[in-house]
Amino acid sequence: MIAKSLSSFVRRWHVRIGLSTAIVLIMLATTGILINHAQSLSLSETRIPSWLAVWSYNLKENDIETIRLGEIEAKTDGVELWVSADGVTHTSSCSENLIGARRFAEEIWVACEEQISIYLVETGTPELVEQINTYSGLPNPISRFGACNLAPCVESQSQLFRYSQLQFNWQIAEAEDGMFFWSEEPQTSKAFIVPLELNWHRWLLDLHSGRLFGSVGVFVVDLTGIALLILVTTGIIRWLRIRGKRKC
């Protein structure tokens, strides 16, 4: 009688626990499989969509500076630089503020305060070919960027400098040396920017562990782990009981 009651009790709770934790167990299994194949799926290289990042991590809007050169757009949040054309975006670094951008033949020069990124757009899509900074002889901080006599020019600490394409260096220039055409100032707007570290691999790890939902999510995952142990235990008990009956 006692054995029968125990068997009925084990069976009932085995079913109840299995049904109540089914969704979480499916989530843990699915995310676990995806995490194991994160490298082959390039999950670490793909950022999650901005709407998902806002919902998951409560992102705040950032100040975004943007300059357009026809079909080419350069924008930055003061950390990353995005140069887009024909639906293709290239990402690099941008220290501090965006100062200006100019086109020189098949190249786009994008100037931040302490760095200039040079993109080749010969094929119509931006391709980063070089970055110039103070270690390359670039005067900084840059306050204005433009062109003089068809060559890149910068203004730094009230001094004008022109890039010599023959000697590959920056030389002091005078205002009377030629016409200066300074880049237009960037436009500032608000937008949600997803950091590089918020990729699909990171999101799946946070979902798998429950961290995505704070302490409550971690607690639910812990309870599910305990429930899984109970399921295994009650399953073994039922299996041993059924096996014992068959032998009899």
CATH code for the domain in which residue 102 is found: 2.130.10.10
User: Domains in the chain: how many in total?
Assistant: 2
Tokens of 166: 């023959």
Question: In angstroms, rounded to a whole number, what is the distance separating the alpha carbons of residues 27 and 206?
Answer: 12
The residues facing 171 across adjacent strands are: 162
Residue 126 CA to residue 111 CA, distance in Å, equals 15
Please give the model's pTM, rounded to 2 decimal places.
0.64
Same domain, 29 and 88: no
* Bigger pLDDT: 93 vs 9: 93
| Domain co-membership, 75 together with 181 | yes
Claim to verify: residue 163 and residue 223 sit in the same structural domain: no
Residue 44 sits in the same domain as residue 159: no
* 61-114 confidence digits (pLDDT tens): 888 888 888 778 888 887 888 888 766 677 777 867 889 898 888 888 999 998
DSSP-assigned letter for residue 71: T
Residue with the larger pLDDT of the pair 3 and 222: 222
Strand partners, 119: 108, 128
Average pLDDT of the residues in 13-38: 76
CA-based nearest residue to 33, from 43, 20, 18: 43
Residue 122 sits in the same domain as residue 243: no
- Least reliable range by pLDDT among 4-8, 32-36, 48-52, 99-103: 4-8
**For the residues 161-167, what does the mean pLDDT come to?**
84
Listed residues 166, 191, 216: the one ending a domain? 191
9 lies in which domain range?
A: 2-56+197-247
Name the domain boundary from 191, 207, 232.
191
